Each structure stands twice: as C-alpha cells, then as structure tokens.
Amino acid sequence: MAYTVVEALEEKKGEDILLLDLHEIAPFADYFVLCSGTSDRMLDSLANAALEKVRETHGLKGRVEGVARSGWILVDFGDVILHIFAPEVRDYYRLEELWAEGKVLLHLQ
C-alpha cells in the first residue's frame, strides 16, 4: 500500500517524496511516506489523491489530521502514515532526521 500512496503523490506532482520502512523501529506503523507541496491547494490535492487511490486499490479509508493552512496534513492508513508538508514546515520538523533509523526505500526529488 505504501507504493500506492507514492504513485498517487507522483501523479499529482508531489515533491521530495520519501518512503521510510519503520517496521523494525516503530510499533504504530510500518511505513512513513513524506512529501512536500508548494501551496495549500496542492497539499489538499495530494492528500485527496492518496485517499482516493488507496480506497480504489485497497478498499481502505484513511483518517486525515491537520489542514493545509497549517502546512502539515497527516493521513493515517494504518500501517502506512502519510505526511504532506509545506517545505518550510518540513524543514522545521525534520521528520527524516527524527526517524533516521528507518530504512529509505525510495527518495524521489
């Protein structure tokens, strides 16, 4: 399912997409997908694209936390958690560094 999320983000021109394997270090999720978008509208579009693609492909509904104007939208698909950021918010929180023990499976810039 993580690759389904990545595919949806690529189709909507998401930027700096990172797929991290956390299954050996995090009890609450197997994968994080991180992505950046350049505007509030783009953040919403990326979240909606991922929700729709996962629903169509896997029959699962994600849970959304946050709003685009905050610069961070989280979509929880259970084993896969998607973080969509405005670039400055992503730079501030630096989740890549916080979860550096995770294995990078994919990084599309």
Domains in the chain, CATH or no CATH each: 2-108 (3.30.460.10)
Q: How many angstroms separate the most distant Cα atoms in the chain?
A: 35
The pTM for the full model equals 0.95
pLDDT at 18: 98
- Provide mean pLDDT across the span 71-89: 98
pLDDT digits (tens, 9 = 90+) for 19-73: 999 999 999 999 999 999 999 999 999 999 999 999 999 999 999 999 999 999 9
Alpha-helix runs per DSSP H in 1-109: 2-11, 40-58, 87-93, 95-98
- Provide mean pLDDT across the span 84-90: 98
pLDDT at 49: 98
pLDDT at 109: 86
pLDDT value at 83 more than 90: yes
pLDDT at 101: 95
> Closest Cα partner for 102 from 30, 6, 36?
30
